[in-house]
Chain A
Amino acid sequence: MTVTHPWILCFIAGVVALAGMAADIYAQQPGGRLVIAQGTDAESLDPIAFTASPTAAITEHITETLVRMEIAEDATTGEIKTEVRGRLAESWSFSSDGTALTLRLRPGVKFHDGTDLDAEAVKLSLERIMNPACAAPFRAVLLGRIPYSPAALTTGDVANKNALIWTAKLIGADGNAIAVALKPGPALKVAVTGMVHRDPTVTVEFAAGTTTAAEVMQAVNDDKVASTVLTVAHAKDSDGSGRVDAVAPTKLSGYKSGVEAVDAATVRLTVPTPFAPLLAHLTHSAIGITSAKRLREAITALPPCGRGLEDKPAGTGPFMVKEWKKLERLVLAKNPQYWDKDQAGRPLPYLDELEWRVIPDDAARMIELERGTVQVAVRVPPLDVPRLQRDPNIGLDFTTSVRTIFIGLNARERAPDKEGGAPNPLADKRVRQALNHCVDKEAIVKTILGGQARVSDAPIVPQVFGYSKVGPYPFDATKAADLLREAGAKTPLKLKFHTPRGRYVRDVQVAQAVQAMLGTCGVEVELTPLEFVAYLALINKPASEAEHQMYLLGWGTVTVDADYGLYSLFHSSQWPPGPFNRGYYKSDAVDQRLDEARASADPDARKKLYAEAQQLIWDDAPWLFLHSESQITGIRKAVKGMQVHVTERVIAWNAWIE
């Protein structure tokens, strides 16, 4: 009898397993250039100056965030887990009352300009993003949550301290007079001249007034003030002598910035009231950290926001900018000092170069992919899927996107005065529900989108933290007719419907299908496709002037937290102009739950509140819920390790070419 010792078995099993792992690990070949084709060029590589996801995909490789969002789908249960992981921050902790988040920075990280990652770089980067003068499109991710002190950015700019004219830097531009009562003179009044344009030679004058410093700071933190570069002209102290003692700009407010460098490797973010999604918000691609040295140089060149970062950023990312020929290509070279390693401890990234090529035409992009000139092509047209699937050299990735496509319904009580102020049929939730029942979403997905989309069963997608399945509205024309009758709607019900053209996958065709389907329920829709910028202007008006009734739009919950996907779209404080509740929806019950959920530190309590909110929203039907797009990405099979993130970014720092 041969007795095999169990240890030997274990040993053999171990060797086999290790061999398997080794085979897997050593498959990665360093070197080479990967070419990714997108439809548009990067707008700017500066975190404060881009809006679109193709740009974010590129900047993610250059400038890194403090934390990142990891999304994993359990292969067996299908359950989706979203989890915040460290990136530039190694660890973090919330204070017990939930108002302070302390982040410990990863040691040994270097920026592309050779300087070390430290707390000052984080502070400068975050405050620059929050600075209203810089008009960062995504400043609302931080501003309004973290108190922002403009003075913190402007030390050293006090000119002529002892003269009548004192130049400080606090901006006001709410159109009204802003004056700041400055310490130490209790009665010191300062008239403030504001300028908004990034070119500091352009100034806009405001009439003098007597707002207090506290009010100005509040306005800044509420993002109501357009600029922080204010020239404070004309100061007068209490005894009327006209002499102002040296006033350091930090005394301007007496306010503490919400971003604090505790020591070189520790940053503390303070919020006035607990804000649970704070960590998720820090994963947003636009909250990238730039070298302090580079930031100071840029800001000196053009205060207060800086110049030169749009094409020469200095981040810590796996790739650095090598060459950018606008409208053609952006070439990134490997960052040899990149901090991250793979599981075998070898340096990342594997690739020597990463090229982003601009090919606006979908079909031309596919030809280049099929030929192999580019190895990755984003936004594969759904109708090209079957053909590309037959190509043995090409693999397709169907990662869902966090982008939800919907038709907003303007729910305000009456039409605007200039249109006669008639009662608005869409103010009745039964009418809105009827529209939802009348449209066959399955058919739209199947025929128009080639099956490459998912019918919405909630206002957000399953990948988002806090998602709860509350739908879909079944397609039921009889029910729709009943609801319309109950609501006493006159048929044919006439509605205006606006849609952007070319912004989302087959947007106009989807809108036309909805128009035709609504026609069968006695709803006559007048459809107007508009080009996106014109469209935005139309739907960004205050409720009293809004002309839009039905409007097709997409929303990407890019922080992958329900707050981002629900608060600005359904909270009644978020009506335009500016925020995104463009149907003027108002529900106290929903407001209450969204407010509570963002203040709660308990994830389970938050999930419950979001589930309730989504149920309420679903029943109220402020939208005609449609679908979420699949992002279809074509990847040559020789390319391994590419990741497609739900936030519509293709990620190449783990990629290699076989």
Chain B
Amino acid sequence: MVGYLVRRLLLAIPTLLGVTFLIFAVVRLQPGDPALVIAGEAATKEQLESIRRALGLDRPFWTQYLIFMEGLMRGDLGRSIKTNEPVAPKVLQRFGQTIELTLAAMLVATTIGLLAGVLSAMRPYSWVDGLSMFGALFGVSIPVFWQGLMLMWVFALLLHQWTGWGLPATGRGTLWHLVLPAIALGTSSAAILARMTRATMLEVLHQEYITTARAKGVSERAVVYKHALKNALIPVLTVFGLQFGALLSGAVLTETVFAWPGVGRLIVEEGILPRDYPIVQGAILVVAVAFVMVNLLVDLLYGYIDPRIRYD
């Protein structure tokens, strides 16, 4: 187990190295000039060149990359080009707020997804099944910004107009502020989890040990939740891990619609738009690390759910 963990952690290193390189290259391949952003549109050519020199942007690509990696080894993500603030605390703070939203969305996704999936599997081809699978199709097809606005319109605006109370539409603050963005962000994952749960549950429910359990008089409730669901969870868990990444990337849109101050908006509004390379690099790197870690965690969870899975 420990050996496995070490091996996996070591394997994460080349992945993350690749990620750093890709981010570093892609950010610089974009047209646009950070020097122009700093000096303003009225800058002369000489000014732009001196700013590039001062920021090291005139150096060869590989030199810049090595300087970046050297800083990274020391846990230093560099400083913002525009404000000269250190990037790391800024990114971590925003990332925490994105995680808050992502976890809430995961909660929504798993609750709705598992529930809908199990209900559908228990009565396949019934109206419950039809409704929840139609809902799943709908949920996976609907664009997050449109759904976000509809949720806001109904639960923040109309509800408020009718009853005098409505959910908060935008911003971060109370737990109530989490509700609408979490639903908007979690819907498509809920849909995927629901379909996945239904399919694996159906398969498991036809296994012989389920028939045996029923034959020996185990209650239907115990059959479904104790025997079937636990065995159906493995593929669901894989999807869960992958959905976590999808949620992190979906957060960019959700955060913009709901004015949520997360890492997605940091990347776009303070990173990509003003060409603040260190912010983009730092933020994407943190997100990538989180993604790798969550998938590692999921792999470890397999063993917990199914003791037959060994990590030798």
Total cross-chain contacts (CB, 8 A)? 152
Which residues of chain A come closer than 8 Å to B40, judged between CB atoms?
Answer: 51, 135-138
- A319: interface (CB < 8 Å): no
Q: Which residue of B lies closest to A373 (CB)?
A: B169
Q: Which of B36, B45, B83 has the most CB of A within 10 A?
A: B45
- CB contacts (< 8 Å) of B83 on chain A: these are 44, 310
Decide if A360 touches B259 in the complex (CB within 8 Å). Answer: yes
Chain B 192-250 residues near chain A, CB threshold 8 A: none
Give 1 or 0 for each of B251-277: 1 = CB within 8 Å of chain A CB. 000001111010001100110011100
Asked whether A202 is an interface residue with its Cβ less than 8 Å from the other chain, the reply is: yes
| Interface bits B28-69 vs A (CB < 8 Å: 1, else 0) | 001111001111111111111111011100000000000000
Contact A326 B42 (CB under 8 A): no
Shortest beta-carbon distance, A110 to chain B, in Å? 29
Answer yes or no: B84 CB below 8 A from chain A CBs.
yes
User: Do A368 and B170 form a contact, CB below 8 Å, given A51-B40, A226-B51?
Assistant: yes
**CA–CA, A327 and B171, complex, Å:** 9
Give bound CA distance, A486 to B37, whole Å. Answer: 43
Chain B residues with Cβ below 8 Å from A363 are 149
8 Å CB contact of A364 from B39, B42, B50, B258: B258
Report yes or no: B46 in contact with A173, Cβ–Cβ below 8 A.
yes
A651 part of interface (Cβ distance < 8 Å): no
Q: Is the CB of B45 within 8 A of A577?
A: yes
What are the interface flags for A186-216 relative to B under an 8 Å C-beta threshold, 1 for contact and 0 otherwise? 0000000011111100101000000000000
| CA–CA, A453 and B2, complex, Å | 68
How many angstroms from the CA of A371 to the CA of B167 in the assembled complex? 11
- Could you say which of B53, B153, B269 contacts A360, with CB atoms under 8 Å apart? B269
The answer, among A223, A329, A371, A533, for a CB contact under 8 Å with B37, is A533
Point out the residue from A226, A364, A531, A579 that lies within 8 Å of B47, measured CB to CB: A226
**For the complex, is B166 an interface residue (Cβ under 8 Å from A)?**
yes
Task: Answer whether residue A246 sits at the interface, using C-beta atoms and an 8 A cutoff.
Answer: no
B152 touches A538 (CB 8 A): no
CB distance from A149 to the nearest CB of B (A): 19
Near A by CB (< 8 A), chain B positions 72-106 give 82-84, 94
Q: Is the CB of B46 within 8 A of A367?
A: no
Task: Give the Cβ gap from A548 to chain B, nearest Cβ, in Å.
Answer: 13
CB atoms of B261 and A327 under 8 A apart:
yes
Q: How far is the CA of A227 from the CA of B51 in the complex (A)?
A: 10
If A135-B38, A198-B84, A360-B265 touch, whether A533 touches B32 (CB-CB below 8 Å) is yes
Flag if B54 contacts A196 (CB, 8 Å): yes
* B294 CB–A CB distance under 8 Å: no
* Residues in A whose Cβ lies below 8 Å from that of B47: 132, 135, 173, 196, 226
Which residues does chain B contribute within 8 Å of A137, judged by CB atoms?
A: 39-42
Residues of B within 8 A of A579 (CB): 42
Majority DSSP secondary structure for residues of A touching B? loop
A540 interface residue per 8 A CB criterion: yes
Distance of A112 Cα from B51 Cα, bound (Å): 33
Q: Is the CB of A540 within 8 A of B36?
A: yes
Q: Is A361 an interface residue (CB 8 A)?
A: yes
Task: Indicate if A359 sits at the interface (CB-CB under 8 A).
Answer: yes
Contact with B along A26-51 (1 / 0, CB 8 A): 00000000000000110110000001
Of the candidates A140, A223, A531, A577, the one whose C-beta lies within 8 Å of that of B48 is A577
B23 within 8 A of A: no
A533 to B157, CA, bound (A): 36
| Residue B145 at the chain A interface, CB threshold 8 Å | yes
What CA separation (Å) do A194 and B50 show in the bound complex?
A: 9
Complex: chain B residue closest to A174, CB-CB:
B46
CB distance from B264 to the nearest CB of A (A): 10
Q: Mark A349-377, 1 if CB is under 8 A from B, else 0.
A: 00000000111110110011011010000
Contact B269 A135, beta carbon cutoff 8 Å = no
- Do A361 and B46 form a contact, CB below 8 Å, given A196-B53, A202-B54, A534-B32? no
> How far is A51 from B38 in the complex, measured between Cα atoms in Å?
10
The answer to whether the Cβ of A578 comes within 8 Å of any Cβ in the partner chain is yes
Interface residues of B (CB under 8 A from A): 30-33, 36-51, 53-55, 82-84, 94, 145, 148-149, 152-153, 156-157, 160-161, 166, 168-172, 256-259, 261, 265-266, 269-270, 273-275
Cβ contacts A to B, 12 pairs, < 8 Å: A132-B47, A175-B49, A358-B259, A361-B256, A364-B148, A373-B168, A531-B273, A533-B32, A533-B273, A537-B36, A577-B48, A578-B44
Spell out A's residues near B (CB within 8 Å): 40-41, 43-44, 51, 132, 135-140, 173-175, 194-199, 202, 204, 223-227, 310, 325-329, 357-361, 363-364, 367-368, 370-371, 373, 530-534, 536-538, 540, 542, 577-580
Other CB < 8 Å A-B pairs besides A173-B46, A204-B54, A223-B44, 17 of them?
A: A40-B269, A135-B43, A137-B40, A137-B41, A195-B54, A226-B47, A226-B51, A327-B266, A360-B259, A360-B269, A364-B257, A367-B149, A371-B160, A533-B36, A537-B32, A577-B48, A578-B42
